[in-house]
Amino acid sequence: QVQLVESGGASVQAGGSLNLSCAASGRTLSSYTMGWFRQAPGKERDFVAGITWSGGRTDYADSVKGRFTISRDKDKKTVYLQMNSLKPEDTAVYYCAARGSSAVVSAWYRYSSWGQGTQVTVSS
């Protein structure tokens, strides 16, 4: 199992930026894929972005392409989500997740490890 701890959530105004972090521990991540998901009140948990740990292949939800960037630091075992040009509709709890396969998928149930979530609030 992989333990994940997110940080970096905050309240910002529309147009602002945030950088979320997800620190991973527990085992080697070489064959893992890391993902960011978000869930707004009363809505389903949606895929935001994913990255394969070894090759760094990425994928994004259409709603965040061009605004968000996912990256990872292998030495620090940390995944980041740089969020720019934030919109009120980006408001949600953001979760980091991991799956033990080297392929980015958008289905949340394909990820076996989850962090506790970090709140992002964007005001207009």
pLDDT tens for 20-49 read: 999 999 878 888 999 999 999 999 999 999
Of 26 and 58, the one with more pLDDT: 58
pLDDT tens for 92-113 read: 999 999 999 999 999 999 999 9
Mean per-residue pLDDT of the chain: 96
In this prediction, residue 58 carries a pLDDT of 97
User: Looking up tokens 């994928």, which residue turns up?
Assistant: 59
For 27-57, letters b (16+ CB in 10 Å) and e give eebeebbbbbbbeeeeeebbbbbbbbbeeee
Alpha-carbon distance 59 to 78, whole Å?
17
